[in-house]
Structure 1
Amino acid sequence: MGNEDLNKTLSDQRAKTVSSYLQKRIGKNIKLSSSIGLGISKQINDNSSEILQAKNRRVDIFIEKTLLAGEKISRKIYPSFLDSNIEIMKVKDTFSLPDVNFIGAKHVWLPNGNTNLFKLYKVLKLNPTFEIELQGHICCDYENFDGEDEDLGTFNLSWTRANAMKEYLLKQGIDSKRIKVVGLGHLNPLVYPEITEADRVKNRRVEIVLLKK
């Protein structure tokens, strides 16, 4: 809202306020490198409601671990939601959705994900008390909390990926009240740093948290 100069000044002030707060409290092993205001250039939604406007009034914080030369971090993949035993699944457990990965900078999944997305729908249909949270992830863009969705022009790519899956499930007849959507940006990469295209594909994913059984 307002003109670009005003928004740039305001965003600078917000970033400096958070920076000043943290500077007084962080330990010596953490270096606070810089703060910058980006004005309206990194909106995560379209400002179409007061709630969405409020979400754009934010400060993103980027934490980077210094890696040794050639060091690569690989995180353990969660059990598959599709192959786990229903009887032993626990509320708040996190699961993977194998082979459902996305085209870079888009909320469109690769064609080989169709089979497992349909299987996800079947699991939800056969277990009508299940409620889930879809957690979207991105690769590569560590200059922003979240990536830019090229089709929508918003910086909430991890959310739009999870929401695309929700929309698919709704079209199949699953009640929207059973599905929550969140975007986690680049916070939890399976592989870091992404050196190959295979690394990048692995990180473009959606994971599932069981909220109610």
Structure 2
Amino acid sequence: MVFNLIFVKTIYMKSILAVAFFLLPFAFFGQESVSFYFDNNKSELNKVELAKLNTWILANKKSKILSITGSTDEVGSSGYNDTLSQKRVDYIFNKVKVAVKIREDFKSISLGEKGAKSKNKAENRRAIIVFLQEKDLAKEAELIKPKVVEVPKTTEIIPIEEKDMNFPEGATLEEKVELSRPGTLIVLPEIQFYKNSFGIMPSSKPSIDELIYILDKNPNLRIEIQGHICCVTQDHNNLSLERAKQIRRVLVSNSIRQDRLVVKGFGVSKPKFAIPEANEEQALANRRVEIMILQK
């Protein structure tokens, strides 16, 4: 009898601890999240999910929204999925913007099929609202503003080429960052610029949004943004550095602290292929943006 009582008490305490552990991230950080799911190829919620959204709005009129992140499954082209993902974000935003408070540095993040983390495709067709409840707004500055981390100035980091990391085939940027260590170089091939300019092409937005999402999710992460150009023998206008700076401007405008972002332009000093390049594919490989992990 005594043994049974001890056993029951032990199971009860473990259950309480398990529940406490499950709730701890929200209790500690104060940020909540809720997901809404879309039908295949749809950018509007069905009746059931719309009712769920309306119920959430009624219960959160005094909450404050920090971000909305959209994603898709992997069916269809990446370009189509990028557009669909953004439409889902815009749809949710337009539904909540009048009824619920929006933080001034609100982030609209479109991950497209890069946000497909589940084997169940239906679970990837969603939009996630991250928000603060009314009870946590008094601590908003404390909860949202990250502490400034002092960065050692004398730490020497040895670059590690991406190919030497042997990332799994098809690994996403987020997965590569998770597997990386200080010095790891990661190419961002989808970030492209207009010719002879540091103007970023619109097709780069999903990749930049993903980078913002990763930096936001990992507040201790510091990176060096590296610019490279192609097709000439010298970077007369320092275009590679200006392109790296432009990426940093976009990240800072999306509330990523500038002290987490180092920029460097390498011109044509580190080509993947000899200059002049034999074809456009080689030129594209030379004309690239890379990030180097400085701190995790």
Q: Which interval holds the TM-score relative to the shorter structure? A: 0.5 to 0.7
Letter of the structure 2 residue corresponding to residue 202 of structure 1: A
**Structure 1 residues 85, 184: CA separation in 2 closer, same or farther (over 3 Å shift)?**
closer
Letter of the structure 2 residue corresponding to residue 192 of structure 1: A
Q: Select the residue among 248, 255, 260 that pairs with 1:178.
A: 260
Letter of the structure 2 residue corresponding to residue 116 of structure 1: S
Aligned to 1:157: 239
**Match status 1:97 vs 2:226:** no
Aligned to 1:135: 226
**Structure 1 residues 87, 107: CA separation in 2 closer, same or farther (over 3 Å shift)?**
closer
* 1:36-57, Cα deviation, whole Å (9 max, x unpaired): xxxxxxxxxxxxxxxxxxxxxx
**Match status 1:211 vs 2:294:** yes
Contact 1:77 1:96 in 2 (8 A): no
TM normalised by structure 1 equals 0.55
Identity of aligned residues (%): 32
Aligned to 2:272: 190
* 1:126-164, Cα deviation, whole Å (9 max, x unpaired): 00000100010000110x2x24xxxxxxx2100001000
SS at match of 2:188: coil
**Match status 1:199 vs 2:279:** no
**Match status 1:166 vs 2:257:** no
Letter of the structure 1 residue corresponding to residue 278 of structure 2: I
Give the aligned length: 130
Instruction: Name which one, 1 or 2, has greater alpha-carbon Rg.
Output: 2
Contact 1:104 1:204 in 2 (8 A): no
Contact 1:77 1:190 in 2 (8 A): no
Counterparts of 1:69-84 in structure 2, within 5 Å, are 82-84=173-175
TM normalised by structure 2 equals 0.40
Measured on the aligned residues, the alpha-carbon RMSD in Å equals 2.3
Contact 2:182 2:295 in 1 (8 A): yes
Contact 2:228 2:288 in 1 (8 A): yes
List alignment gaps of at least 5 residues for structure 2: 1-161
* Shift of residue 195, structure 1, vs aligned partner: 2.6
